[in-house]
Amino acid sequence: MEIAKQFTFEAGHILPNHQGKCRRLHGHSYRMEVAVGVPDNHRVYGSGSPLEGMVMDFGDLKEVVKRLVVDPWDHHFLARGDEKILKQLDPNSDDVLLVGVRTTAENLAAVAAMVVYNALRIPGSYVRVSLNETQDSRAIAVAPGCGIWLSQYR
Ligand SMILES: [Zn+2]
């Protein structure tokens, strides 16, 4: 069983080693779906519980994703920290948010999935983040499990 909520945010980034268009400073209107899944009947609450028949409350999922991912990332320049363009920005401004990884859709999806998974801590669950960078291009990451892959990029 899985539930999902959808979010949008705008952010800038640059992929300095990339050969394509993303090597230039630019931004995206990201669309993100965050799903929380549990094995069938593993954690869906039983009769009499305020969460009867639920994986979790949609509002609680929305609050966590907004507080930990959408609000911090929205209208920021997302960076790993080694981008040359950073030297031209005011280090005292809050323009930049360092996310610790090269800001590909794959890595951002993985970071979001791990952050939400670690915050929810629902036994036996997983968090699947589907992050659209453009209308028809998206990366999908599932936590736990994506952290090992991410560590290769630090
Ligand atoms: Zn891009």
- Token couple for 21: 């268009």
Q: Is the pLDDT of residue 152 over 70?
A: no
Burial status of residue 81 (CB atoms within 10 A of its CB: 0-12, 13-18, 19 or more):
exposed
Q: Is the pLDDT of residue 153 over 60?
A: no
Q: Is the pLDDT of residue 42 over 90?
A: no
* pLDDT score for 45: 62
Q: From ligand 1's centre to the CA of 102, what distance in Å? A: 11
Q: From ligand 1's centre to the CA of 40, what distance in Å? A: 37
Instruction: Please write the tens of the pLDDT for every residue from 95-147.
Output: 999 999 999 999 999 999 999 999 998 888 999 999 999 999 999 999 998 87
**DSSP string spanning 38-64?**
-STTTS-B-TTSTTBT-SS-HHHHHHH
Q: Is the pLDDT of residue 154 over 60?
A: no
Instruction: Please write the tens of the pLDDT for every residue from 13-27.
Output: 999 989 988 899 999
Q: From ligand 1's centre to the CA of 26, what distance in Å? A: 6
Q: Is the pLDDT of residue 64 over 50?
A: yes
What domain range is 29 assigned to? 2-151
Cβ neighbours of residue 122 under 8 Å, at least 6 residues apart?
36, 38, 43, 55, 56
> Residue 106 is part of a domain; what is its CATH number?
3.30.479.10
Q: From ligand 1's centre to the CA of 46, what distance in Å? A: 44
Q: From ligand 1's centre to the CA of 90, what distance in Å? A: 22
Q: From ligand 1's centre to the CA of 27, what distance in Å? A: 6
Q: Report the distance separating Cα 96 and Cα 98, nearest Å.
A: 6
In the structure, what pLDDT confidence band is assigned to residue 4 with cuts at 50, 70 and 90? very high
Average pLDDT value over all residues in the chain = 90
Asked whether the bond before 91 is cis by omega within 30 degrees of 0, the reply is no
The domain tally of the chain equals 1
More confident residue, 77 or 89: 77
